[in-house]
Structure 1
Amino acid sequence: MKQINWGIIGLGNIAQKFSEGFINVSNSNLFAIASKNKIKLNNFKKKFNLDEQYSFNNYDDLLKCKEVDIIYITLPNFLHYDWILKCIEHKKSILIEKPAFLSYSQATDIEKSLIENRIFFTENYMYRYHPLVRKLIELVKENIIGDLINMESNFGLNIMTKKKFFFFKKNKKIDKNNRLFNKEMGGGCIFDLGCYTTSISLLVAALLKEIDTKNVTLKNIKKKIGPTHVDIDAEAELIFNDSFRSYIKTSFIKNLGNKTIITGEKGKIILERSFLDIGGLTLLKNGKKSFIYNPSLKNLYSYGIESISKSIIDDKIQYSFPIMSIEETLINTKIIDNWVKN
């Protein structure tokens, strides 16, 4: 069987979790890594038993490695645009960590280059590959809960306060150089967590035949800006074709969890822990509650690695769910851009 050789630029926590996913797939191989931090590079190399000659202390050297088929870019948000362009120049397929871009103009620039160079590109929303998300889509398509009315999706973690004695809380000291709180680095809860809620809203809206997902507006935007001038709490209402609505919330100061509820004329579908460790599907219909649990036998990232690698092996540039297309990324980026700036 043909195997796709993967390279990773940036060796943070997400790269560690992602790399563990290669254990469960047969069509892919973690082949090369790059980091400017020599300690991280060495530890990563040892943990995943990688070849010394393919462990680079310079990102450009990995790009020049002919054996690498696809590069996963896990660098901070503000570096995405430049390194996507460099990958395109070296004719490498690309998986980019979410959010792919910090502005809609960046996204449209990249789209043109991808099409001209016929480069595979997708954004890393790994929840899309999970079997339970496929089941959710199946239930909606089969009209199990009737015509859809609206949905809501939340993703929020309180990372700005810490518990002291009993119920007393204390605000954590915010490091303005931390990427999550640095505006120039693409910080803020919308870019970090809110992008999940917009992406799943697009995914569900696209299932409705009468909906053109490009025809979406944002209303009732509410935001709280933190001391480092990034959003730390936000909500909005997405309206598709002036009909289907998605209510979205994200936060760095509230433990909102990460749950998605889809409401139809005949019932509701609830996706528990929608984006990380997906917890199951609950179907509420006719006064009855049924729980659909599909235990994941793989690391969440294994599903994505396997699916993306198969598309590259099959030489597919036009691809469909679960892989996120550049067209979907463009729409999602436009929504996020408007949410952040308004």
Structure 2
Amino acid sequence: MLNWGVMSAGGIAYVFCNGMRFTDSGQILAVASRTESKMDRLVNDFGIPRQYNDYADLLTDDDIDAIYIATIHPLHAEWAIKCAEAGKHLLVEKPISMNHAEAAAMVGAARENDVFLMEAFMYRTHPQVAKVVELIQDGTIGDVRVIRSTFSYRSNFNPQSRIFNREMGGGGILDIGCYTASMTRKIAGAADNKLFLNPVEIKGNGKVGPTGVDHIAAATLKFENGIIGEIIAAVECSVGSSVFIYGTEGSITIPSPWLPSSLCRHAREPLPLDTVFPSTKIIVESYQRRETTEITVDVDRDLFTYEADTVANHIADRQAPAMSWDDTLGNMQLLEAWLAEVGVVH
């Protein structure tokens, strides 16, 4: 069983701690936060035995095996490298870093210090993704031609909020565009029986706000196997959050690609231990048969529990196929290019 330390006590840290209640692969041993009220809430709600006011204290706690870094994006690289040098295994919130160079340094630190490292794209660990890959590789929709992936929400403009503050890593591309990029690369790779594929051409555009971060961004991607990808991320308007995969013989729709089966994501208190987590659905349309089929993917735990279990199951390998180091580096390279196309530099 892994003993986890949680770095930062914000909203996503609360979600992760809630998800950890439904696994026997690990437990939350300690939390570190610079905001005492948020840390107290985690400690009280989840019975976390140790609490620290300094992130560095997690590194010197010899009982901690792995650290979940849930800080704002700009702090990821600094603390991940420090954790690796302290011999701690790592799960780092997405995006793993602010740019490709930082991500490469983090991977280098994990390799040099022989520790596990995974970027926390929790949706990649859900059985829904494995089912979509299976459908594609079985030829259910023929040859994949186009992938359209969107993630969006509407947030009122506040220059001090994490979403719109440039110094805090704001903007839609880093916050949620990373999902659309990673999913499109995953599907393009699946069509070639690979874990992922990086685009050979990227064209982007978007709207940059007064604080210098992107509010709306879109990009078209071209892959070496001829697949075209369309990715959209928006934080000032909702354009949907779904994935459509179009092939020569049919299509696949993923209505809930990013947060399937997650009751923990929006829970404001610890969920009951007898909670039943909802299944998710994949819609397959056959052009020839002119019929639509709903495929149900059943689960036995929360999305964030799958994520924690993935770390535990692959800790000895130092990386997980759900989001390998090369996959992360390829995704950061795409995000960096997309940001440049839109006119944002971090």
Q: How many angstroms does 1:124 deviate by?
A: 0.6
1:176 to 159, 170, 182: 159
Alignment-mate amino acid for residue 66 of structure 1: D
Report if the CA contact (8 A) 1:283-1:289 is conserved.
yes
User: In structure 2, the residue corresponding to 1:293 is in which secondary structure?
Assistant: strand
TM-score by length of 2: 0.89
Q: Secondary structure at the match of 1:58?
A: coil
Specify every segment of 5 or more residues in structure 1 that has no aligned partner in the other structure, as ranges: 161-173
> Does the aligned pair in 1 maintain the 2:185–2:199 contact within 8 Å?
no
Shift of 1:245: 1.2
1:233 to 205, 216, 224: 216
Deviations 1:187-244 (A, max 9, x none): 001111111000101111121338782453202x110011222100010011111611
Tell me the amino acid that sits aligned with residue 158 of structure 1.
R
1:182 maps to amino acid: N
Q: Could you tell me which residue of structure 1 aligns to residue 318 of structure 2? A: 317
Q: Distance in 2 between matches of 1:136 and 1:304?
A: 18
CA distance in 2, matches of 1:306, 1:111: 21
Post-superposition offset of 1:254: 2.0
Distance 2:304 2:285 in 1: 29
Verify the 8 A CA contact 1:189 1:250 in the aligned structure 2: yes
Q: Is the 8 A contact 2:91 2:120 kept in 1?
A: yes
| Alpha-carbon distance in 2 for matches of 1:238, 1:332 | 12
Could you list the per-position Cα deviations for residues 47-100 of structure 1 after superposition, in whole angstroms to 9, with x for gaps in the alignment? 00121xx21111101111111111000100111111111111101111000001
**1:20–1:299 CA contact under 8 A, matched in 2:** no
2:301 aligned with 1:298, yes or no? yes
Give the 3 Å change call, closer, same or farther, for CA 128–234 of structure 1 in structure 2. Answer: same
Q: Where does the alignment leave 5 or more consecutive residues of structure 2 unmatched?
A: 262-279, 342-346
Structure 2: distance between partners of 1:326 and 1:13 = 26
For 1:121-136, list aligned pairs within 5 A: 121-136=117-132
Q: Which of residues 26, 29, 37 is equivalent to 1:28?
A: 26
Sort the Cα spacing of 1:31 and 1:316 in 2 relative to 1 into closer, same or farther, 3 A. Answer: same
Larger CA deviation: 87-96 vs 125-134:
125-134
Aligned to 1:336: 335
| Secondary structure class of the residue paired with 1:257 | coil
Letter in 2 for 1:316: D
CA contact (8 A) 1:194 1:249 kept: yes
Residue 196 (structure 1) aligns with: 179
Answer whether contact 2:166 2:212 (CA < 8 A) is retained: yes
Larger deviation: 329-338 or 174-183? 174-183
Q: Partner of 1:169 in structure 2?
A: none
Residue 288 of structure 1 pairs with residue 271 of structure 2: no
Partners of 1:210 and 1:310 in 2: CA distance = 23
Question: Which of the numbers 207, 216, 222 marks the counterpart of 2:200?
Answer: 216
**Corresponding residue number in structure 1 for 2:238:** 255
Task: Quote the offset at 1:273 in angstroms.
Answer: 1.8
1:270–1:281: 8 Å Cα contact kept in structure 2? yes
Distance (whole Å) between structure 2 residues aligned to residue 158 and residue 318 of structure 1: 34
Contact 1:196–1:275 (Cα < 8 Å) also in 2: yes
- Aligned pair 1:49/2:47, yes or no? yes
RMSD of the TM alignment (CA)? 1.6
Partner of 1:138: 134
Tell me the TM-score normalized by structure 1.
Answer: 0.90
Amino acid at match of 2:131: K
Q: Equivalent residue of 1:258, what SS?
A: coil
Q: Which amino acid aligns with 1:154?
A: T
Corresponding residue SS for 2:146: strand
Q: Deviations over 1:160-211 (max 9, x none)?
A: 3xxxxxxxxxxxxx33221111112210011111110001011111213387
The answer as to whether partners of 2:185 and 2:198 remain within 8 angstroms in 1 is: no
Tell me the alpha carbon deviations over residues 8-60 of structure 1, each in whole angstroms, 9 at most, x when there is no partner.
00111111111111121111111111111111111210100121xx2111110
Residue 295 of structure 1, CA deviation: 4.0
Q: SS state of the match for residue 209, structure 1?
A: coil
For 2:274, the equivalent position in structure 1 comes to none
- Report SS of the residue matched to 2:97: coil
SS of equivalent residue, structure 1 residue 29: strand
Identity over the aligned pairs, expressed in percent?
31
- Alpha-carbon shift at residue 128 of structure 1 (Å): 1.0
**Deviation larger for 76-85 or 127-136:** 127-136
Assess if the C-alpha contact under 8 Å between 1:24 and 1:298 holds in 2. Answer: yes
